[in-house]
Amino acid sequence: MKICVMGLGYVGVVSAGCLAQSGHEIVGIDPEQVKVDLINAGKSPIVEKDIGGIVKEQVASGRLRAATDLAAAGHNSDLFLVCVGTPSQGNGGIDLTHVRNVCEQIGAALRRHDAAPVVVMRSTMLPGTIREVVIPLLETHSGKHAGIDFGVCINPEFLREGSAVDDYYHPPKTVIGEIGPASGDVLAKLYADMPGPLIRTDIETAEMVKYADNCWHALKVGFANEIGNICKGLGVDGHSVMDIFCQDTKLNISPYYLKPGFAFGGSCLPKDLRALLYKAKMLDLSLPILDAILPSNRQQIERGVQAVVAKGQKKVGILGFSFKAGTDDLRESPVVELTERLLGKGYDLRIYDRNVSIASIRGANRNYILNHIPHISRLMVPSVADVLGHARTIIIGNAATEFHDVPNHLEYGQNIIDFVRICDTRSVAGVYEGICW
């Protein structure tokens, strides 16, 4: 495949060298003459393990060359791979100057192109950038239509400095955000032999994935440092603690707890977080990441309240009262907090949870209901049907399997606010609202 790599920085050089090594014909484009001259001399313009030898070999083979002028060097490419920088602005936004310039150049090349090449963005860009900036510029400067006369994809990179070549050939995943299947098919051919999952999705999801990844990595570093700081204050070896922590691949290093939804609750997470933060204060330690977790959790409860208020319906039903399906544990259940808030605002509530009934509960939960929330216990009804017969707005509070069929039993004018995603759908105005999807 003939591929034009736009931008010979870190990502561009690694991508160009590895693609050439895979047998493709590569031309790299960069406005800096020094970078172009280095590539054409068989030298890498970046310092990175293994890439110097790859560039030297591929230039010698004739599969890799560089130029400053796209019009002369890249207009017959099958694929344009955009790897230009998107640096931060002073206000935290991203500077799209390089992206805009490249899109104008590619647009002009597309105007003269006889086929339907695919433009692939590897640059990190916020969701909406491709549809709002990239595609309009390509169409304006080419006089052609995206998805018809040329394809558009985003293909975020997951390369770490110091191991970029190995990461290129052994990616944790390959993500293709495509404007249509034809665009994605062309790009997918590049990765046919790559290990790891190949995920094809919509443009905006693929744009967001890179930000989710990098924010998670930043959070992990900060979290580990804060645990290390309090460990040091306690005279505990933080490395030993985190070594043990990372051996748990069922809960700690896993998909568990990483699904958007409602606030956390229960007998462990809030209590233990407060205890650790209290101990940190005793040690005069500041733990801003850990300290922000409970306020963030409270904000999610507030989002739930505001979602109900926005519906404008006073008759509300709650399906699922315990903090998690399959348990009767009401301790620090966020749904209890939500219920208290709605009662305070004058809402007419009905509540159902198979596992939460005074007749079957023993011990701490029975005492909690009778002595702390007796006014709520009087609102509990014996079936889902009783809730549906009363409420205009139905809240799905936990993921009990008996709630999964509820959307199929709504009457006209009823709507669902879902805290746990009982069905695989996005929010639909007036009918179904996911709390954060």
Q: Which residues are catalytic?
A: 268
d(CA 181, CA 26): 24
Tell whether residue 223 is among the known ligand binding residues: no
Tell whether residue 159 is among the known ligand binding residues: yes
Please name the amino acid found at residue 168: Y
Tell whether residue 258 is among the known ligand binding residues: yes
Tell whether residue 271 is among the known ligand binding residues: yes
Tell whether residue 124 is among the known ligand binding residues: yes
What radius of gyration do the chain's Cα atoms show? 27
Tell whether residue 315 is among the known ligand binding residues: no
Assign residue 312 a region: left if phi > 0, alpha if psi is -120 to 50, beta otherwise? left
Residue 430: count of CB within 10 angstroms of its CB: 10
Tell whether residue 259 is among the known ligand binding residues: yes
Tell whether residue 260 is among the known ligand binding residues: yes
**Hunting for tokens 């809960």 — which residue is that?**
251
Tell whether residue 331 is among the known ligand binding residues: yes
Tell whether residue 86 is among the known ligand binding residues: yes
Query: CB-based contacts of 334: which residues, under 8 Å, 6+ apart?
Result: 262, 263, 264, 265, 297, 300, 301, 304, 323
Tell whether residue 425 is among the known ligand binding residues: no
Q: What is the largest CA-CA distance in the chain?
A: 82
Tell whether residue 411 is among the known ligand binding residues: no
Torsion (CA) 236, 214, 323, 390 in degrees, nearest 10 = 170
Token pair listed for 348: 């007419």
Tell whether residue 35 is among the known ligand binding residues: yes
Tell whether residue 97 is among the known ligand binding residues: no
d(CA 28, CA 16): 7
- Which residue numbers belong to the known binding site for NAD(+)? 30, 35, 86, 124, 161, 271, 331
- Which residue numbers belong to the known binding site? 30, 35, 86, 124, 158-161, 210, 257-261, 265, 271, 324, 331
- Which residue numbers belong to the known binding site for substrate? 158-161, 210, 257-261, 265, 324
